[in-house]
Structure 1
């Protein structure tokens, strides 16, 4: 649950005090969170925080989609999609305790001290006027007890404020704003059980645990702050749907305008989360589509020193090295494991010729090429070519027409059996990769 935690569990968490696994990162900064700034920066900025607790994927996936699938055409948004990135990777509420209970007082010896101080500085920034902290909570919040899963003790499906009003230059009418958000969400419910309510925790009236939270810290800096909870009883993509409905209403209230790259319904959200994700490596000599990637990819070209330079399409994507295996992680999901084939890398950028369905094309390394019937790799004196999984009697992989049925499906990069690797080598160095995608 996002905010709620009984005192017994709090005592348990207090007994435990990222990165233990080496992280391969384009920023080389361990598991530090990203701050993504979108729009034209101004003094009316919305700060959206996801991932303060790593077992709440609805929250951090919503923030990541806001970062990757929205264009801000008017106004300013700052997005932190992965505040507690190590917690996300570990699929844990908090390996070092609940980060959302560290905003009142925190020892400098705490492993998360620098992270908490950094997000505090963004909250206090003069540009930021409103903060939304995204959570997934258990059950369904109701103001009166209905049953075990629908009661005042549950945290799912509600908009949270610490008090009705604060003394702030703008957006101080917290409960009124929260009511507008709730009304908008409730006009777009998937089913009636999912109804949202305003949940005023009345923190300063004696809730000692909520006094330690991010939102209570924010309102004491004179900033409007809200928690948004989606129910853990819902599938993740439906949680994201409700979070995005709420976020769009906050943007509307603040006069922030945007363009969205997908349809805001459960199917559209599911596709946006799962389909449009990839990682590119070695300055885009390799580009891996990840939506259907196999659990294990063998003999994958890795630079001899073990350092894997990559760019990710989504801030929740990263690669973690463990021995000779490189794990591709998307939030708290492991997508694939790359089994290393250590090689020197040739960084020269070139294009190669392929004959695609009877027509020759110049193709750059890192490309994914659609093929209906067959492809042919033109022989080149400069390269040795390996079409992964393909063999013939003449032991040739260039100058021959290759059809999908001639490559065993278990050599495909994807689980559907449609994408295959064509790797190029010059002398003893890996030069680049082209992916062939057979249309089904």
Structure 2
């Protein structure tokens, strides 16, 4: 195959992938999340204009999910180019951040660009921050290939020193304050932030096409914030959040954060505080350690999966082979193999005996189990996925230990979390599931092993 044919073949593969993606996606339109008390002093945060820059869209998504705005108004668009996020690409139809001076109505990005332009020009919006991950480390003088004026990482971007607007027009001064805030909290000296004034109107044709320059020309204060692609994602996110908190401070916006703004704590939030629920919380799956393939997943007979993600950069996409993929930012976390069922509208509590104690457990919950659990007989047929003794069609009334469930049916790679499914006895409709997690028992085994003693269960 010659080079020309190879390129054509690659283009065709991309086209087929995108065609499938758009055909089966639940909703890849970008989300607008409004927080705080809406006023005419709104901060607009934009992430995900380029999908291969996860620090930016992860920071925006955390403002949406892990910050409470106690004073002022913040609007967040965490997933402006959601398709490119899923693809981990700069843009499947070209760089969206070069389409603000002109875009054809035939361009697949046209609708999203039009929508974000309308949002930027809302009278309430007074300041815009567009989040990016840039290459290397911006320096005003050339040091080496990774530290130079031609790199974008670790910089606060302005198109010009000031703009003639009623508030926040002193762009250079605001950028300096943001850099000072970040630089007072560096992980390492190399990560120092600098203001990068592109002086766009003096002839930078590429920057004339960008979102921030469009905003400037619409009478808005606008900034880019760049974290370095040389850093791991949680550190990029850390620097973005430091900058965003300073912008909120400058605007008089007050907030409460649900975690400590430290790099390792932030990594834990990004990687572990994630879950997805289905069918009005009848199923709720923790995703921090989820298996990459889950079989027999309850799915409506019409093929639709109703879901609610914990993050706005998470979604579920139907694949061409009729499986479903859970995507979180740039990562595909798991593939779901459907088990087509009728789904009940009922959702009730179920009585369990957990380690000898009775508990009322809501369907959709996760419960910790040390030794064993039992579901008391009720109006449901109970199916413990992976339970080895299948002589019983209904597994209520049985006391079950971890060793009686095949580990390959666990939801997580550590083999701790298992599914207990419920079906209506009268019509056999799927009513939901409870997850049991055998974490306490495993912890005891580890402690005993380290002490040189044999666990009773081994």
| TM-score bracket relative to the smaller structure | over 0.9
CA contact (8 A) 1:19 1:31 kept: no
Q: 1:133-282 residue pairs with structure 2 within 5 A?
A: 133-282=130-279
Deviation at 1:24, TM superposition (A): 5.0
Deviation at 1:371, TM superposition (A): 1.3
CA contact (8 A) 2:381 2:396 kept: no
Q: In 2, Cα distance between the equivalents of 1:196 and 1:394?
A: 65
Residue 295 (structure 1) aligned with residue 254 (structure 2): no
Q: Output the TM-score relative to the length of structure 1.
A: 0.93
SS at match of 2:111: helix
Comparing 416-425 with 43-52, greater Cα deviation is found at 416-425
Deviation at 1:385, TM superposition (A): 1.4
Q: Extract unaligned runs of 5+ from structure 1.
A: 1-12
CA contact (8 A) 2:136 2:146 kept: yes
Corresponding position of 2:3: none
Corresponding position of 2:430: 430
Q: In 2, Cα distance between the equivalents of 1:76 and 1:241?
A: 22
CA contact (8 A) 2:40 2:123 kept: yes
Q: 1:403-418 residue pairs with structure 2 within 5 A?
A: 403-418=401-416
Corresponding position of 1:68: 65
Q: Deviations over 1:369-410 (max 9, x none)?
A: 111221011123x32211111123854732222122222322
Deviation at 1:103, TM superposition (A): 0.4
Q: Deviations over 1:72-115 (max 9, x none)?
A: 00000000000000111111101001000000011111111111
SS at match of 2:342: strand
Corresponding position of 2:453: none
Q: 1:263-412 residue pairs with structure 2 within 5 A?
A: 263-322=260-319, 323-380=321-378, 382-392=379-389, 395=392, 397-412=395-410
Aligned residues: 421
Q: Extract unaligned runs of 5+ from structure 2.
A: 1-10, 444-458
SS at match of 1:361: strand
Q: In 2, Cα distance between the equivalents of 1:406 and 1:235?
A: 41
Comparing 89-98 with 397-406, greater Cα deviation is found at 397-406
Identify which of 66, 73, 79 aligns with 1:82: 79
Q: Output the TM-score relative to the length of structure 2.
A: 0.89
Comparing 226-235 with 338-347, greater Cα deviation is found at 338-347
CA contact (8 A) 1:24 1:307 kept: no
Task: Return the structure number with greater helix share.
Answer: 2
Deviation at 1:336, TM superposition (A): 0.3
Comparing 391-400 with 167-176, greater Cα deviation is found at 391-400
Q: In 2, Cα distance between the equivalents of 1:385 and 1:215?
A: 56
Distance change >3 Å, CA 38–CA 59, structure 1 → 2: same
Q: In 2, Cα distance between the equivalents of 1:214 and 1:281?
A: 36
Q: 1:12-161 residue pairs with structure 2 within 5 A?
A: 20-21=20-21, 22-25=23-26, 30-161=27-158
Distance change >3 Å, CA 105–CA 117, structure 1 → 2: same
Q: In 2, Cα distance between the equivalents of 1:88 and 1:344?
A: 33
Deviation at 1:438, TM superposition (A): 1.4
SS at match of 1:193: helix
SS at match of 2:43: strand
SS at match of 1:20: helix
SS at match of 1:64: helix
Corresponding position of 2:452: none
Q: In 2, Cα distance between the equivalents of 1:267 and 1:373?
A: 33
Deviation at 1:222, TM superposition (A): 0.9
Comparing 147-156 with 364-373, greater Cα deviation is found at 364-373
Deviation at 1:312, TM superposition (A): 1.2
Q: In 1, Cα distance between the equivalents of 2:272 and 2:390?
A: 38
